[in-house]
Amino acid sequence: MSRHKKSYPIIAICLIAIVAFGWVYRDDLEHYARLSLSTAKRWVRHQQTKDIKDYNGIDVSSHQKHINWRVVAANENIEFVYVKITEGTTYQDRLGQQNIRNARKHGLNVGAYHFLTTKSSAKTQFENFKQHYVKEANLIPMLDVEERGKFSDKEWVALAKEVADMMEQEFGVKPIIYTTLALYNGTLYPTFKDYTIYIGCYGTKPPSFCDNKSKYLWQYADTNFIEGIQKPVDQTRFVGLTIDDLLLKNK
């Protein structure tokens, strides 16, 4: 009995040390917990979608590193590629223009996209996209609308719509709108109901739109690999659409 009683202070000290460590490093522990959860979710998504082969296109940025477009172009699934070229007002993807030119050189249908931010005006963001747009691109441009910062719903939708309007005026067609299902259903509808939507909704269950869309682009996977690309790549399929719906008519 006495031996066990002597161990109580040691246990108490250990518990206090553990609690103190957790408090001091709570931010770091929370960060790594989020990373672990994110990794687990990506693994689940990969297991769900890794064997699905009926995709129609991909989207890429410098995150995918240098791409072997000759190998990618030989993939019979890929009917289109969207390439990031700009973000906000000052950022240009370091491989964006190169990716578009090389993909087109190997016969792929390619579109350029801009990643919208809330850190600058619609006009300066559009000018960034326009200035770095690659004329070889032959698909309708795309606006990536998912980062909203601290904007209210009204402010965020107004910003996105202003950029979309300028893109439409420049190219003579409404841009494709990339977003997530939650953001479309909860915020972007009904302002963008008449746009072609490129929806991020991962897994095998089709997206359920609040307006019952029957025509859209479904990005169902973001963790799979294809030959010619070093990193995992987003995979997308047509739903009720064909490549003709994405082609710029003046090309």
Instruction: Label the pairing between strands 91-92 and 110-115.
Output: unpaired
Distance CA 8, CA 24 (A): 24
**Dihedral-angle region of residue 167 (phi above 0 means left; psi in -120 to 50 means alpha; beta otherwise):** alpha
- Name, in order, each residue with C-beta under 8 angstroms of 205's C-beta and a sequence gap of 6 or more: none
The residue-averaged pLDDT of 191-212 equals 96
| Distance of alpha carbon 107 from alpha carbon 80, whole angstroms | 10
Residue 195: its pLDDT value, please?
A: 98
User: Average pLDDT, stretch 25-41?
Assistant: 46
Cα–Cα separations (whole angstroms), residue 204 to 47, 188, 217, 240: 11, 24, 14, 17
Q: Which has the higher per-residue pLDDT, 151 or 50?
A: 151
Cα–Cα distance measured from residue 203 to residue 219, given in angstroms and rounded to the nearest whole number: 9
Q: Report which DSSP code applies to 232.
A: -
Q: Give start and end residues of each alpha helix (H) in the chain.
A: 2-24, 26-49, 69-73, 96-105, 122-132, 153-171, 181-183
Over range 37-61, report the average pLDDT: 64
What count of other Cβ atoms lies within 10 Å of the Cβ of residue 61? Answer: 22
pLDDT in tens, 103-132: 999 999 999 999 999 999 999 999 999 999
pLDDT of residue 29: 43
Residue 19 has a pLDDT of 57
CB-hemisphere CA count at 13 Å for 175? 28
How far is residue 229's CA from residue 63's CA, in Å, rounded to a whole number?
Answer: 10
What secondary structure letter does DSSP report for 93? -
pLDDT for the residue numbered 223: 84
Rounded CA-CA distance 200/198 in Å is 7
User: What integer pLDDT is reported at residue 8 of this predicted model?
Assistant: 59
Confidence band for 176, pLDDT divided at 50, 70 and 90: very high
Residue 80, beta-bridge partner list: 57
Check if the beta carbon of residue 221 is closer than 8 Å to that of residue 200: no
DSSP string of 61-84, one letter each residue: -GGG-S--HHHHHT-TT--EEEEE
| Domains and their CATH numbers in the chain | 2-43 (no CATH), 52-245 (3.20.20.80)
Query: Residue 224 has what pLDDT?
Result: 86
Tens digit of pLDDT for each residue in 128-171? 999 999 999 999 999 999 999 999 999 999 999 999 999 999 99
Least confident of 25-34, 48-57, 79-88: 25-34
Give the span between the Cα atoms of 166 and 169, in whole angstroms. 5
